[in-house]
Structure 1
């Protein structure tokens, strides 16, 4: 009877304290202060277990929490704790929590080793403390708000690296003795990832430490990068291109439309002016630079297998996270950057995207997004050779012509019914217009363009020019007219008349049915990390024939401004802007407005 009563009493007394931060506990412990020298951890635990005497246990807990002991006493505490670790069962959870909360990273190397030995011994003896230990270690990866000086633009100083090195060393040792530990680590990394609006050095510090973990946990590279990519996408979506531009150029509107020219000039800012004015953009910029540097290091070695494995990881992350995410602006440049390392990577990525487009089992939004990535990649990547560009355009053309032949002309040509077809058509128009200088540089290339039968595409019963972005349609019309590949202006004019007739008939101006378009590899506008992209990013260049071939035919009269390859057609509109009179209607028809859900700049200017 007495034994049962003692066990129940011990359990009921030791377990009620849920946390070291309990106000009642703090008040109780502050009133009972004793010298730590008078306490022996092992004797205190034995006394509590065997005799149910808890007063000395409370004094021990208070002394450890106050942490008022020197280097020698610190070492003594953890040597004694390791010696009696077998006694630290679930009843003494508060003591374990107090020991794990002691600041150990600022101690000597010897003291750190003693602390690590205690933690390893604890988890080997008591697996129930695994989550608590891992949580403490992961939280140590998060820089404090006042640690900003240790992270210059998200890059750790030498002193900061030395501070976090013992944490990584302890994790490595724990993984060696408990192989399944990393599953718990992944859970706590997801749980403790800093809120995306935290200061830049806080988010970047955590990302840096996660990237360091991939070096000794190669089996979990994809899982670690997946956590980082998901959080980066959250930041990217919450830092729209328009808001970044408005923050960088709050007064001079004209500079917004010169962003691409600035990229050509190499962003010649002063060294002290590399900080983005928008806090989220600065966080994204620093994190992107960390990832670019990480990718470069992982592929700089001569180990081809390592590079190929990294490419497969990035492609998987792109497929599962980036491609389905709506309206991102910068994270996708990680795969763009990687593809520049080797032509085979670019070829594989383009082939992968095209398979997504052609697969009827893939959802229409995903297929449309894949077309956007394809078109933007072909237009903007300097590392894509002309041979790959031509072969992909031929694939586009073949698919489109087959679709036209298989589609009954009696079926309605609504945008929703033929979304993928219209997306591929616009991709053809966009790439031909953007890469016109290369595609018309020789008679051989011109013959290739003629083989695409562009005239048959624009004149088919589905009328793809009707739903294309006006800037793309007019740029394509200018290129094909200059090289006598197709004549689009009559179709553009007829489409505009039909639209106006509908408006006047209903006595109300209704939005034009226009293809929702996403060109993901548009100009990269983050300052620090842009140095990785600028050398491999292509700016628009008109061919000499186009420059010397102004649109002056009678049918183009009154719309030279909207259909010429001039600076007025240089940008797709941002989300809330409107494009005036771009569909090629004579000005007698009045002024028309076209609204898009979101758009990006095609960069059609000289």
Structure 2
């Protein structure tokens, strides 16, 4: 294998000038193969010359090549791995993309014969087919033309058909195919057109004739690659290029006086307004964006085919082993979000319950449980397709767990020892910042919420209000007071809203206290899939909105109050999207609404108390400071 041979042009003409019938050519090929161990390799070398010749083939040359390949198919039993390494190297090195349909068919017939004839050739045959998932680099521009697209269809339809034929003949083949596909998968630095076409083939395997044998692993490998791309996006390096337009820099902090690139908006200071435009030119981000769109479209086809639930189970397992453990994944998790949006009643409910189960299970590592509840809080807050009733039920489960924790822990504040508890408390408050009004507007949910022992938990000696992220605590207390959720006593009010040492210690180096993974997705192409299903902070009318105007902006549309029903059908969802479809500028503005770690310059007055608005994004899930 791997032996390089120069094209034997003279040998090619010698064979070309002899008029062989099909049966005579098969005999000639057999003789050529059998002569090699005897020391006679002339005919064998001529045969290899025929296989190597691929440029500007004349019709008679094409005919000879086709006939030679067919003759080899009939003489597979004579091929020996030791004596015919050069021949095998030539066969397995041929690219279908360089030939027309007749040669493709003859070559694939030979590959099928080799795969079925001996286990020795199975892996090489599968590897040759997988290598044809991608075209030669020189053909990339050709594929943009109509003729190139036709060639692409000719090649890939034959490749997948042959893989199915091999699987039918060799039961072992699918299990050998999976590691080959994964090993040959392009790395994160491969050019976008090549990695896109490779992933197209992986998804074709996932949804094709042998999906029951290989489909699960294709999805797992794809999710792994999405995470690989995600973590390769180095925000801090991009910020060094232009610190005034930080990709995920939310607010200007530690600034004493406004600068030219800072605007004063309703008491808030913004610098380098956060926008998806900031990702322009980031090749890794653009590649990830395109691959996620491809994945979204595949999920849509699965939903249309009635097998989304089956596929989702694989995604859940992949999420638990890969995405959940990825340090503050930025975008890859939106595959889960969109799958849930496509089927809220099954996938949407299942995902939330999986996250809740993960959080309450004491056998999992603390950081994993904190990550799970951060995902859960962000998901319950942002999923437009989730009913208020379902969100309330999941919240009740979190509250019950936190209450039980309080009953068995009487110690003082200790952010490190009780980080899982604090993450649960913060998740509850975060979700209520988004959902409190919608729950209070539905009588039975209001009753359910009022019965929750929140005050008992928040006043416990573990003091979650002094440890959790101040901006979330403050927004929650403000809404709770307006909704009369409980008596907001003076012990709930802080004179200093800056992060304390206790707050900074919560979550340790990872700072999972500030990680909310379903913050608005900034990938441009993904937006058309996510936006109709996503709740932006600018859509929320809080419990205190009716009685005050907290900024100079026009009031945000009351998304929560406009959907009092617990179940939203598809038509209602579509109308909701139409009524809340923000322009890009509005979207970018909504993500810059609030600070995460408030400074004095970000305060504004509410009565006699200092108040901080809810952040539209929670830093540092996308902040370079945390990376």
Residue equivalent to 1:561: none
C-alpha distance in 2, partners of 1:549/1:453? 28
Tell me, what secondary structure is at the counterpart of 2:544? helix
Alignment of 1:349-428 (within 5 A): 349-408=351-410, 411-428=411-428
1:410-447 residue CA offsets vs partner (Å, 9 max, x unmatched): x3421121111101100111111122331333565444
Are residues 280 and 569 of structure 1, via their aligned partners in 2, closer, same or farther at CA, if it must alter by over 3 Å?
Answer: closer
**CA shift for structure 1 position 371:** 0.4
Are residues 26 and 412 of structure 1, via their aligned partners in 2, closer, same or farther at CA, if it must alter by over 3 Å?
Answer: farther
1:482 equivalent in alignment to 2:465:
no
1:296 equivalent in alignment to 2:300:
yes
Say if 1:415 and 1:422, in contact at 8 Å, map to a contact too. yes
C-alpha distance in 1, partners of 2:429/2:95? 62
1:523 equivalent in alignment to 2:546:
no
Are residues 275 and 175 of structure 1, via their aligned partners in 2, closer, same or farther at CA, if it must alter by over 3 Å?
Answer: farther
Tell me, what secondary structure is at the counterpart of 2:190? coil
Deviates more, 1:134-143 or 1:528-537: 134-143
Residue equivalent to 1:546: 545
**CA shift for structure 1 position 31:** 10
Are residues 169 and 413 of structure 1, via their aligned partners in 2, closer, same or farther at CA, if it must alter by over 3 Å?
Answer: same
Tell me, what secondary structure is at the counterpart of 2:620? coil
C-alpha distance in 1, partners of 2:446/2:472? 20
Alignment of 1:505-524 (within 5 A): 512-515=504-507, 516=511, 517=513, 518-524=515-521
**CA shift for structure 1 position 257:** 5.2
**CA shift for structure 1 position 545:** 2.7
**CA shift for structure 1 position 224:** 1.2
Q: Which of the residues 212, 221, 224 maps onto 2:218? A: 224
C-alpha distance in 2, partners of 1:385/1:330? 24
1:598 equivalent in alignment to 2:620:
yes
1:281 equivalent in alignment to 2:285:
yes
C-alpha distance in 1, partners of 2:199/2:278? 20
Residue equivalent to 2:44: 57
**CA shift for structure 1 position 307:** 3.1
C-alpha distance in 2, partners of 1:460/1:571? 29
Alignment of 1:463-482 (within 5 A): 463-482=463-482
**CA shift for structure 1 position 243:** 7.3
1:236 equivalent in alignment to 2:230:
yes
C-alpha distance in 2, partners of 1:160/1:567? 43
Say if 1:210 and 1:224, in contact at 8 Å, map to a contact too. yes
The gaps in structure 2 that reach 5 residues or longer are 19-27, 252-274, 551-588, 611-617
> In the comparison of the two structures, how many residue pairs are matched?
524
Are residues 568 and 521 of structure 1, via their aligned partners in 2, closer, same or farther at CA, if it must alter by over 3 Å?
Answer: closer
Say if 1:101 and 1:136, in contact at 8 Å, map to a contact too. yes
C-alpha distance in 1, partners of 2:592/2:455? 23
C-alpha distance in 1, partners of 2:133/2:181? 10
Alignment of 1:85-234 (within 5 A): 85-90=76-81, 91-149=83-141, 157=149, 159-214=151-206, 215-219=208-212, 220-234=214-228
**CA shift for structure 1 position 159:** 4.7
Residue equivalent to 1:559: none
Q: Which of the residues 21, 25, 37 maps onto 2:16? A: 37
**CA shift for structure 1 position 392:** 1.5
Are residues 119 and 211 of structure 1, via their aligned partners in 2, closer, same or farther at CA, if it must alter by over 3 Å?
Answer: same
Are residues 545 and 114 of structure 1, via their aligned partners in 2, closer, same or farther at CA, if it must alter by over 3 Å?
Answer: same
Deviates more, 1:527-536 or 1:38-47: 38-47
Say if 1:458 and 1:488, in contact at 8 Å, map to a contact too. no
The gaps in structure 1 that reach 5 residues or longer are 1-17, 259-268, 503-509, 552-565, 590-595, 602-606
Residue equivalent to 1:570: 593
Say if 1:333 and 1:521, in contact at 8 Å, map to a contact too. yes
Are residues 547 and 92 of structure 1, via their aligned partners in 2, closer, same or farther at CA, if it must alter by over 3 Å?
Answer: same
Residue equivalent to 2:571: none
Deviates more, 1:118-127 or 1:133-142: 118-127
User: What root-mean-square deviation, in Å, do the aligned CA atoms of Structure 1 and Structure 2 show?
Assistant: 3.8
Tell me, what secondary structure is at the counterpart of 1:543? coil
Are residues 35 and 233 of structure 1, via their aligned partners in 2, closer, same or farther at CA, if it must alter by over 3 Å?
Answer: same
Tell me, what secondary structure is at the counterpart of 2:393? helix
**CA shift for structure 1 position 353:** 1.5
Alignment of 1:576-595 (within 5 A): 579-581=598-600
Say if 1:492 and 1:583, in contact at 8 Å, map to a contact too. no
Are residues 144 and 33 of structure 1, via their aligned partners in 2, closer, same or farther at CA, if it must alter by over 3 Å?
Answer: closer
**CA shift for structure 1 position 114:** 2.1
C-alpha distance in 2, partners of 1:404/1:581? 33
C-alpha distance in 1, partners of 2:105/2:426? 63
Say if 2:483 and 2:543, in contact at 8 Å, map to a contact too. no
C-alpha distance in 2, partners of 1:151/1:441? 56
C-alpha distance in 1, partners of 2:455/2:279? 49
**CA shift for structure 1 position 239:** 2.2
TM-score scaled by structure 1?
0.77
1:168-206 residue CA offsets vs partner (Å, 9 max, x unmatched): 122121111112111221111111111111111111111
Say if 2:517 and 2:621, in contact at 8 Å, map to a contact too. no
Alignment of 1:75-86 (within 5 A): 75-86=66-77
Are residues 274 and 126 of structure 1, via their aligned partners in 2, closer, same or farther at CA, if it must alter by over 3 Å?
Answer: farther
Tell me, what secondary structure is at the counterpart of 1:434? helix
C-alpha distance in 2, partners of 1:519/1:348? 19
